[in-house]
Amino acid sequence: MTDQPSVGLFVTCLADLFRPTVGFAAAKLIEDAGCRLEVPMAQTCCGQPAYNSGDRKDARALAEQAIEAFDGFDYVVAPSGSCAAMLKKHYPGLFKGDARWEARALAFSAKVHELVSFLTDVMKVEKVESDFAGTVTYHDSCSGLRELGIQAQPRKLLSSLPGVRLAEMKNSDVCCGFGGTFCVKYPDISNAIVEKKKATIGETGADVLLAGDIGCLMNMAGKIKREGGRTEVRHVAEVLAGMTDAPPIAGK
């Protein structure tokens, strides 16, 4: 057992609160990849809402909390490009000028990975097992795409599933309009952006919309279902883990 890398699952607040299925799917994928998984109970949120609202003090307090909660793991893995980017790319900057914490944050951030890219790039997973069958389309969430370079990895694992057909949407790399607090601060603009996204998703004729970030998925699912769309919405980990028994996000 000891030669297995240890992974702390940073489940993310949205998966924890809204979509536990994603946490279980992530756990299965990480364990199937040959890792020893633990879920620290002292985790809450990465602090991104505070950070992006200009509240560095609370952001830093939450960063310290997360760094301490995940002390000692070989890897810290999150099923979200956005939260993983916060942990990996933004934490060290919060401690500028505090040498001890900055060094600790840098050591921590080096261990952080987004779930799907962790599977493919670190654990060298080539294929996953899942009975899921259907046509899917994949939205590239912004933070994962632009801050962590996640684009090929989910497509690679999806293509390893015999039952899955990927129908790419136009502009899959364009923002869905979620933007964290943006979507409630500027609801009309956010709506205009997600309307365009909904149209490009609809054009693919896919049964299921997938992405790697629950915030974006909740936004797109909420819009699709408000307008009576039939596309189901799930986190990519649910399909990769074959855990699609739970109703889709925002229902059928």
Partner 1 sequence: MQITTPNFKENATRALGDAALQKALKNVEIGFIAKRLAAADALPEFEALRDNARDIKNHTLAHLDLYLEEYEKKVIASGGHVHFAETAEDARAIILDICRKRNAKTVTKGKSMITEEIELNDFLEKNGITPVETDLGEYIIQLRGETPSHIIAPAVHLNKDQVEADFRRVHTHLPPERDLSQHEALLNEARQVLRQRYFEADVGITGANFLIAETGSSVIVTNEGNGDLTQTLGKCHVVVASLEKLVPTLNDCAQILRVLARSATGQDMSVYTTFSTGPKRADDPDGPEEYHVVLLDNGRTAMLGTEFQDMLRCIRCGACMNHCPVYHAVGGHAYGAVYPGPMGAVLTPSLSGIEVGGHLPNASTFCGRCESVCPMRIPLPKMMRHWREREFEKHLTPSAARYGLKFWAFFAKRPKLYRAAVSVVMPLLSVLGGTSRRISSLPLAGGWTKHREMPAPEGKTFLQAWAEKQAREGGR
**Scanning residues 223 to 252, which ones bind partner 1 (CB under 8 A)?**
223, 225-226, 246-252
For residue 99, state whether it binds partner 1 (rule: CB under 8 A): no
Query: What's the one-letter identity of residue 108?
Result: F
Nearer to partner 1 among residue 146 and residue 155 (C-beta):
146
Binders of partner 1 in range 190-219 (CB under 8 A): 190-194, 218-219
Q: Is 160 an interacting residue with respect to partner 1 (CB under 8 A)?
A: no
Stretch in the footprint of partner 1 (CB under 8 A) among 56-64, 102-110, 115-123, 153-161:
56-64
Distances from the Cα of 67 to the Cαs of 14, 44, 190, 196, in angstroms? Answer: 19, 12, 32, 38
Distance (Å, rounded) from C-alpha 146 to C-alpha 56? 23
How many degrees, rounded to 5, is the angle at CA 241 between CA 236 and CA 243? 90
Contact indicator for 63, 91 with CB cutoff of 8 Å: yes
Give the strands of the sheet with 208-211, arranged side by side.
Answer: 164-166, 134-138, 208-211, 232-235
Q: Least distance from C-beta 121 to partner 1, angstroms?
A: 20
Instruction: Give the whole-angstrom CA distance, residue 195 versus residue 227.
Output: 10
Closest approach of partner 1 to the CB of residue 165, in Å: 25
Stretch that binds partner 1, among 98-106, 126-134, 139-147, 235-243 (CB under 8 A): 139-147
Shorter beta-carbon distance to partner 1: residue 11 or 161: 11
Q: What does R_g of the chain's alpha carbons equal in angstroms?
A: 18
Q: How far apart are CA 212 and CA 144, in angstroms?
A: 8
The half-sphere exposure of 61 on its side-chain side, counting CA atoms within 13 A, is 5
Residues 166-195 contacting partner 1, CB under 8 A: 173-175, 177-194
Contact 17, 49 (CB under 8 A): no
The single residue among 2, 54, 97, 230 that binds partner 1, judged by CB under 8 A, is 54
Q: Which stretch binds partner 1 (CB under 8 A): 99-107, 124-132, 159-167, 221-229?
A: 221-229
The single residue among 33, 123, 221, 241 that binds partner 1, judged by CB under 8 A, is: 221
Q: Decide: is 61 part of the binding site for partner 1 (CB under 8 A).
A: yes
List of residues 6+ apart from 28 with CB closer than 8 A: 241, 243
Q: Which is nearer to partner 1, 190 or 204 (CB)?
A: 190
Decide if residue 92 touches partner 1 (CB under 8 A). Answer: no
Q: Given the complex with partner 1, which of 23 and 154 has the nearer CB atom? A: 23
Query: Looking at beta carbons only, is 104 or 197 nearer to partner 1?
Result: 197
